[in-house]
């Protein structure tokens, strides 16, 4: 990929151009950060606000993923300006027929062909890399027909041969959760915990837990209710976990991890909060929460979440919001989240084709 490409169809008339992101250019990285920040503010009411150096580190490949970043430009106020960012992820160890594609356009500049132009180029690169299945995620409003053909994300997905495989509800939680609320939830969970213990750590998995934690992460992906999405659960070997942790450290991502230890010494479940360790960050992510099927009914889900929220007060008092995605076929997790104070703000569709 080298020279800028003109967007197809109506977009060409509006002068959109798409080119590779120049990871050596602070201006390019800053422009991409602004596109992401505007989208996060609009969709979630907060921003992960990475620094330029963190975004540059984010663009690096690992032995498990290769990626390609694009920018879309329009003529604004007499000069070319970045209005959209495209990401293509090529998994190298599993899902090797797939390409993950993500076009994001600044909310102020939508409807001018930038989304179509980015996706066209992402799809071209995916084909060139020999990938035969596309996976993408689109945001749509909380209310209304999920398949409404007038929604921009649905239009874009359909144009490139993708269809809906899963719907997740996007929920946000204002921080901090009042300590009294956490104490109340803990008091209701504690009598059910029995001989289970909750362990916690930040960022790096303790050496002695690497193997067991890897099994838990794989189980999480096997169990994640995601309807018709085709996805192979990765093998989280100790090496793979360490590679991911090193990458997170370079990109400024921090993790707060809680794990439930069963009486037989195995891991029964976990919950993770991730956030960018950058001064301007206001938004974090509630990632995988899982309780293994044979350990359900001990209120471990509640205990795990209370634990990560108590850690948030210590490690990330600057965060104002967490966002999480729950498949609508996962009523248990939704109930725990709503008890904590999460509220639904939108929906996310996973498309494949
Ligand atoms: C989806 C998204 C990338 C579209 O960006 P965009 O620059 O507006 O895209 P385009 O201008 O190429 O428009 C795409 C389609 O949506 C329609 N559209 C765009 N904005 C619209 C609006 N405000 N109202 C109605 N339709 C709109 C366009 O008409 C076009 O459909 P058409 O070609 O059949 O006429 C953008 O909304 C976005 O960043 N959303 C968040 C991330 C996301 O959902 N990505 C989609 C992954 S498939």
- In which band, very low, low, confident or very high, does the pLDDT at 3 lie, cut at 50, 70 and 90? very low
Give the residue, by CA position, lying nearest to ligand 1 atom 17: 152
């995620």: which residue's tokens?
137
Instruction: Let me know if residue 94 belongs to a domain.
Output: yes
Asked if residue 227 and residue 138 are part of one domain, the reply reads no
Instruction: Let me know if residue 352 belongs to a domain.
Output: no
Instruction: Let me know if residue 63 belongs to a domain.
Output: yes
**Residue that terminates a domain, selected from 91, 126, 161:** 161
What mean pLDDT value characterizes the chain? 92
Mean of pLDDT values over 153-168:
95
Asked if residue 301 and residue 156 are part of one domain, the reply reads no
Share of the chain above pLDDT 90, in %: 80
Predicted pLDDT of residue 335: 87
Asked if residue 334 and residue 269 are part of one domain, the reply reads yes
Mean of pLDDT values over 266-293:
91
Share of the chain above pLDDT 70, in %: 95
Is residue 2 predicted with pLDDT exceeding 60?
no
Instruction: Let me know if residue 137 belongs to a domain.
Output: yes
Mean of pLDDT values over 212-231:
83
Predicted pLDDT of residue 152: 97
pTM of the model: 0.91
Give the residue, by CA position, lying nearest to ligand 1 atom 13: 111
Asked if residue 197 and residue 132 are part of one domain, the reply reads no
Is residue 334 predicted with pLDDT exceeding 90?
no
Asked if residue 283 and residue 217 are part of one domain, the reply reads yes
Asked if residue 182 and residue 149 are part of one domain, the reply reads no
Predicted pLDDT of residue 11: 44
Give the residue, by CA position, lying nearest to ligand 1 atom 22: 111
Is residue 1 predicted with pLDDT exceeding 50?
no
3-class secondary-structure state, position 104: strand
Å from CA of 5 to ligand 1 middle: 19
Ligand 1 neighbour 105 (Cβ under 6 A): yes
Instruction: Let me know if residue 167 belongs to a domain.
Output: no
pLDDT in tens, 299-308: 999 999 999 9
Mean of pLDDT values over 311-338:
87
Q: Ligand 1 pocket test: which of 110, 123, 167, 170 has the largest number of ligand atoms within 8 Å of its C-beta?
A: 110
Ligand 1 neighbour 104 (Cβ under 6 A): yes
Instruction: Let me know if residue 194 belongs to a domain.
Output: yes
Count CB-CB contacts under 10 A for residue 275: 22
DSSP assignment of 88-101 equals EEEESSS-TTEEEE
pLDDT in tens, 52-65: 999 999 999 988 99
Predicted pLDDT of residue 14: 64
Asked if residue 137 and residue 182 are part of one domain, the reply reads no
Asked if residue 282 and residue 157 are part of one domain, the reply reads no
Ligand 1 neighbour 110 (Cβ under 6 A): yes
3-class secondary-structure state, position 42: helix
Ligand 1 neighbour 171 (Cβ under 6 A): no
* CA–CA separation, 334 and 253 (whole Å): 25
Give the residue, by CA position, lying nearest to ligand 1 atom 3: 115
Give the residue, by CA position, lying nearest to ligand 1 atom 20: 111
Predicted pLDDT of residue 107: 97
Asked if residue 287 and residue 225 are part of one domain, the reply reads yes
Q: For residue 245, give the CATH number of its domain.
A: 3.40.630.30
Q: What's the number of domains the chain is made of?
A: 2
Instruction: Let me know if residue 1 belongs to a domain.
Output: no
219 contacts 289 by C-beta, under 8 angstroms: no
Q: Ligand 1 pocket test: which of 102, 156, 160 has the largest number of ligand atoms within 8 Å of its C-beta?
A: 156
Predicted pLDDT of residue 351: 96
Asked if residue 229 and residue 190 are part of one domain, the reply reads yes
DSSP label at 212?
H
Å from CA of 84 to ligand 1 middle: 11
63 contacts 57 by C-beta, under 8 angstroms: no
Is residue 154 predicted with pLDDT exceeding 50?
yes
Instruction: Let me know if residue 211 belongs to a domain.
Output: yes
* CA–CA separation, 281 and 47 (whole Å): 6
**Residue that terminates a domain, selected from 161, 195, 215:** 161
Q: Is the Cα dihedral 170, 171, 175, 177 positive or negative?
A: negative
Predicted pLDDT of residue 290: 83
Å from CA of 111 to ligand 1 middle: 6
Ligand 1 neighbour 114 (Cβ under 6 A): yes
Predicted pLDDT of residue 329: 64
Ligand 1 neighbour 156 (Cβ under 6 A): yes
Å from CA of 110 to ligand 1 middle: 6
Å from CA of 18 to ligand 1 middle: 16
Å from CA of 186 to ligand 1 middle: 44
Q: Torsion over CA of 301, 272, 308 and 206, rounded to 10 degrees? A: 110
pLDDT in tens, 91-122: 998 889 999 999 999 999 999 999 999 999 99
- In which band, very low, low, confident or very high, does the pLDDT at 230 lie, cut at 50, 70 and 90? confident
- In which band, very low, low, confident or very high, does the pLDDT at 22 lie, cut at 50, 70 and 90? very high
- In which band, very low, low, confident or very high, does the pLDDT at 12 lie, cut at 50, 70 and 90? very low
DSSP assignment of 173-201 equals EESSPPHHHHHHHHHHHHHHHTT-EEEEE
Alpha-carbon distances of 248 from 104, 155, 232, 312, 313, rounded to whole Å: 22, 34, 22, 18, 21
Q: What is the domain range of residue 85?
A: 7-161
Asked if residue 228 and residue 96 are part of one domain, the reply reads no
**Residue that terminates a domain, selected from 161, 193, 208:** 161
Question: Of the candidates 187, 126, 117, 209, which has an alpha carbon nearest to the alpha carbon of residue 156?
Answer: 117
Ligand 1 neighbour 139 (Cβ under 6 A): yes
Asked if residue 177 and residue 99 are part of one domain, the reply reads no
Predicted pLDDT of residue 58: 95
* CA–CA separation, 276 and 48 (whole Å): 6
pLDDT in tens, 176-198: 999 999 999 999 999 999 999 99
């Amino acid at each position: 990929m080298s020279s800028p490409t003109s967007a197809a169809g109506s977009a060409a008339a509006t002068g959109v151009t798409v080119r590779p992101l120049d990871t050596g250019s602070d201006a390019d990285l800053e422009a991409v950060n602004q596109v992401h920040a505007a989208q996060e503010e609009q969709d979630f009411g907060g921003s992960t606000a990475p620094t330029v150096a963190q975004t540059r580190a984010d663009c690096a490949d690992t032995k498990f993923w290769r990626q390609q970043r694009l920018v879309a430009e329009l003529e604004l106020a007499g000069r070319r300006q970045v209005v959209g960012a495209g990401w293509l992820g090529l998994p190298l160890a599993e899902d090797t027929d797939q390409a993950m594609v993500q076009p994001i356009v600044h909310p102020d500049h939508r409807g001018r062909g930038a989304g179509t132009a980015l996706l066209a180029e992402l799809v071209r690169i995916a084909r060139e890399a020999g990938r035969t299945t596309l996976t993408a995620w689109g945001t749509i409003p909380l209310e209304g027909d999920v398949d409404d053909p007038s929604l921009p994300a649905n239009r874009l997905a359909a144009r490139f041969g993708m269809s809906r495989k899963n719907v997740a509800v996007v929920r946000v939680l204002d921080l901090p959760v009042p300590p009294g609320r956490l104490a109340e939830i803990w008091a209701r969970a504690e009598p059910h915990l029995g001989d289970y213990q909750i362990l916690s750590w930040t960022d790096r998995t303790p050496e002695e837990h690497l193997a067991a934690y890897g099994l838990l992460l794989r189980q999480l992906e096997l169990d994640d209710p995601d309807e018709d999405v085709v996805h192979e659960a990765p093998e989280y070997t100790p090496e793979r976990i360490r590679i991911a942790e090193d990458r997170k450290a370079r990109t400024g991502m921090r993790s707060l991890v809680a794990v439930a230890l069963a009486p037989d010494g195995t891991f029964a479940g976990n919950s993770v909060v991730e956030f960018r360790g950058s001064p301007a960050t206001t938004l974090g992510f509630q990632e995988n929460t899982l309780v293994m099927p044979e350990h359900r009914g001990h209120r471990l889900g509640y205990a795990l979440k209370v634990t990560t929220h108590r850690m948030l007060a210590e490690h990330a008092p600057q965060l104002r919001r967490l966002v999480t995605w729950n498949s609508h076929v996962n009523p248990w997790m939704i109930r725990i989240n709503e008890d904590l104070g999460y509220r639904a703000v939108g929906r996310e569709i996973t498309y494949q084709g």
